[in-house]
A = this chain, B = another copy of it.
């Protein structure tokens, strides 16, 4: 059996447990999760192993979790075997809390960019938000969707924002503020601290 099976040449393709049009909202959503995964793979090629070991470990876990998410969205069997749980969402939250302590306090929107990997993670952040929007579309059209996938994508986009900031901070590259920004962030995502 070859990698190209030609079974999709008429515009339909296989889910786990059924066939569907290639442009179904379900396939749109996991196709974009695959796109997110690819941008994360790209950012990983731009990260120095010594200085960013913690982020590289996070990102490899995230790549695996994105496959869990995609596989769960592809599963339309009567009794689907979902892989995603709330645990990876909680791990992301813990990591966001840790990472947000590292860069300088943030009050205004920042211009995406800085170090190469930070710039790529900003792209991944926006593609993740696109995947989240498409997951919402799917959930409105079809109830057989584990809600944790959308929560995970929502948190992932905030993780990617935090990680991009940490990369720039460790690289000594300041994040430039949007010049006409109001003070939109409340306390930089940190619990209020007396000493700040």
Interface residues of A (CB under 8 A from B): 1-4, 6, 8-9, 11, 21-23, 27-28, 31-32, 34-35, 37-42, 44-46, 60, 63-64, 67-68, 83, 93, 96-97, 100, 109, 111-116, 119-120, 122-123, 125-127, 129-130, 132-134, 136-137, 139-140, 150-151, 154-155, 158, 161-162, 176, 178-181, 185-191
Contact = CB atoms under 8 A, between A and B. Distances in A.
Nearest to A161: B3
- The main secondary structure of chain A at its interface with chain B is helix
Nearest to A33: B126
A132 to B, nearest CB: 6
Given A45-B113, A113-B45, A136-B23, A38 B126 contact: yes
Contacts of A38: 112-113, 119, 122-123, 125-126
A114 B22 CA distance: 28
A181 B67 contact: yes
B3 A158 contact: yes
A41 B115 contact: no
A113 to B, nearest CB: 3
